[in-house]
């Protein structure tokens, strides 16, 4: 078992080092790349700080590694959220969850270092519950956003990620905590080796699309006559027929209406409009309809909620978020400024 443990840890460390060098060297600077490097650092700290006693590092090295690895799950969580959401910014709840998970693990490290005498018997349950919450949220965000995703490569990686994270959790929880408790340290190392090996395959074979999903608008391909026809029909459905007003409109609905495959329509919308999510694409027409209504003085008496509902939004909060993201102002601020200008 000791040889197996050594192989798992040191092969993973080698892959992490090589992957980090390639990411820093070849990929454009972005939050995704920075978070990936931070995740690799936390993974390396976990592997180095939890080695078996037979080849454990001196305590002076173990302590910083064991403290740093408390950030592994929170940093990975933020990395995944950023990977699949281009404009993701951590909010108050994200920071609260990150601090809660890290603090719960830091308390256990404090006991290990002798800084605390002991923790309540229920403390491990808190740590496991918080950790599983982050894992479940990663899975939920990855899965729930797949149907809305317009980038085919990213849709594929969502499924790949779900498989890898599920396998990693099953290995750590079922095998390490239930079946082979005596070898839990080695099993935990194996559980992180799986995602390390998977991500390194993407990077080492030169397939960095996992981190560079987003294309520049200038990279549009030459369209065929068929593609031009599809886009013209799509534009008619949106601007003349106002299909965006339909409740719960999906990419499948549009593809069926146009008589094309869903993946074909996703690619055309993504490459020709720059939108990476279907909901953002549809909301662009809805927001334009709202702003057109704001500009017409005969609509001044209508409540903002009524205008939003008339243009396809289901409720006020998502409309407010979408509007502020698009214009930098709340709907009421935008409407007031427009009315002042017209006066």
Which CATH number goes with the domain that contains 128?
1.20.1070
For position 220, what pLDDT does the model report? Answer: 57
User: Do 206 and 257 have their domain in common?
Assistant: no
Q: Could you tell me if residue 219 is inside a domain?
A: no
User: Do 24 and 75 have their domain in common?
Assistant: yes
Instruction: Give the pair of three-digit tokens for residue 162.
Output: 């779900």
For position 216, what pLDDT does the model report? Answer: 46
Alpha-carbon distance of 149 to 155, in angstroms, equals: 6
Instruction: Give the pair of three-digit tokens for residue 89.
Output: 């910014």
User: Do 146 and 58 have their domain in common?
Assistant: yes
User: Do 139 and 253 have their domain in common?
Assistant: no
Alpha-carbon distance of 191 to 168, in angstroms, equals: 5
User: Do 168 and 281 have their domain in common?
Assistant: no
Q: Could you tell me if residue 218 is inside a domain?
A: no
Q: Could you tell me if residue 217 is inside a domain?
A: no
Give me the domain span that covers residue 192: 2-210
Select from 148, 177, 210 the last residue of a domain. 210
Write the CA distances from 25 to 51, 105, 115, integer angstroms: 30, 33, 41
For position 221, what pLDDT does the model report? Answer: 64
Buried b (16+ CB within 10 A) or exposed e, 131-162: beebbeebbebbeebeebbbbbebbebbebbe
User: Do 201 and 230 have their domain in common?
Assistant: no
Query: Of 155, 156, 136, 137, whose CA–CA distance to 145 is shortest?
Result: 155
CA 306 to chain centre: 33
Alpha-carbon distance of 272 to 231, in angstroms, equals: 9
Select from 210, 235, 252 the last residue of a domain. 210
User: Do 183 and 277 have their domain in common?
Assistant: no
User: Do 166 and 228 have their domain in common?
Assistant: no
For position 243, what pLDDT does the model report? Answer: 93
User: Do 182 and 310 have their domain in common?
Assistant: no
- Angle formed by the axes of helices 184-204 and 152-170, to 10°? 160
Helix, strand, coil proportions of the chain in percent (round to 5)? Answer: 75, 0, 20
Give the residues across from 59 on adjacent strands.
Answer: none
Q: Could you tell me if residue 135 is inside a domain?
A: yes
Helix, strand, or coil (residue 277): strand
Select from 179, 210, 241 the last residue of a domain. 210
For position 23, what pLDDT does the model report? Answer: 79
Contact 108, 138 (CB under 8 A): no
Contact 151, 269 (CB under 8 A): no
- Tally of domains within the chain: 2
Instruction: Give the pair of three-digit tokens for residue 176.
Output: 């390490």
Q: pTM of this prediction?
A: 0.81
User: Do 191 and 233 have their domain in common?
Assistant: no
Q: Could you tell me if residue 193 is inside a domain?
A: yes
Q: Could you tell me if residue 25 is inside a domain?
A: yes
For position 105, what pLDDT does the model report? Answer: 92
Alpha-carbon distance of 198 to 164, in angstroms, equals: 8
User: Do 73 and 133 have their domain in common?
Assistant: yes
Helix, strand, or coil (residue 149): strand
Around Cβ 129, how many Cβ atoms within 10 Å?
A: 12
User: Do 157 and 63 have their domain in common?
Assistant: yes
- Low-confidence stretches of the chain (pLDDT < 70) are 26-28, 173-182, 203-221, 343
Q: Could you tell me if residue 231 is inside a domain?
A: yes
| CATH number of the domain enclosing 299 | 1.10.10.60
For position 160, what pLDDT does the model report? Answer: 84
Q: Could you tell me if residue 215 is inside a domain?
A: no
């Amino acid at each position: 078992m000791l040889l197996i443990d050594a192989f798992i840890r040191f092969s993973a460390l080698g892959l992490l080092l090589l992957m980090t060098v390639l990411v820093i060297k070849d990929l454009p600077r972005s939050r995704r790349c920075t978070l990936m490097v931070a995740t690799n650092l936390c993974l390396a700290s976990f592997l180095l700080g939890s080695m078996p006693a037979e080849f454990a590092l001196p305590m002076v090295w173990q302590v910083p590694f064991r403290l740093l690895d408390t950030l592994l799950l929170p940093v990975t969580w933020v990395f995944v959220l950023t990977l699949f959401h281009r404009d993701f910014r951590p909010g108050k709840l994200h920071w609260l969850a990150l601090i809660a998970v890290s603090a719960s693990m830091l308390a256990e490290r404090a006991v290990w270092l002798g800084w605390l005498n002991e923790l309540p018997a229920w403390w491990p349950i808190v740590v496991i519950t918080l950790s599983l919450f982050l894992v479940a949220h990663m899975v939920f965000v990855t899965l729930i956003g797949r149907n809305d995703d317009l980038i085919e490569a990213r849709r594929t990686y969502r499924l790949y990620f779900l498989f890898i994270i599920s396998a990693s959790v099953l290995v750590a929880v079922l095998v390490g905590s239930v079946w082979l408790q005596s070898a839990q340290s080695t099993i935990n190392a194996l559980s992180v080796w799986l995602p390390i090996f998977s991500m390194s395959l993407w990077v080492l074979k030169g397939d960095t699309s996992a981190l560079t999903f987003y294309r520049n608008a200038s990279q549009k391909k030459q369209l065929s006559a068929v593609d031009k026809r599809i886009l013209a029909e799509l534009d008619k459905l949106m601007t003349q027929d106002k299909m965006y007003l339909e409740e719960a409109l999906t990419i499948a609905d549009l593809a069926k209406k146009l008589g094309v495959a869903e993946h074909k329509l996703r690619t055309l919308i993504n490459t020709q409009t720059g939108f990476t999510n279907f909901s953002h694409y549809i909301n662009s027409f809805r927001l334009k309809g709202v702003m057109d209504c704001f500009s017409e003085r005969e609509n001044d008496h209508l409540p903002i909620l009524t205008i939003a509902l008339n243009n396809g939004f289901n409720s006020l909060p998502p409309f407010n978020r979408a509007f502020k993201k698009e214009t930098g102002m709340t709907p009421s601020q935008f409407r007031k400024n427009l009315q002042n200008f017209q006066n």
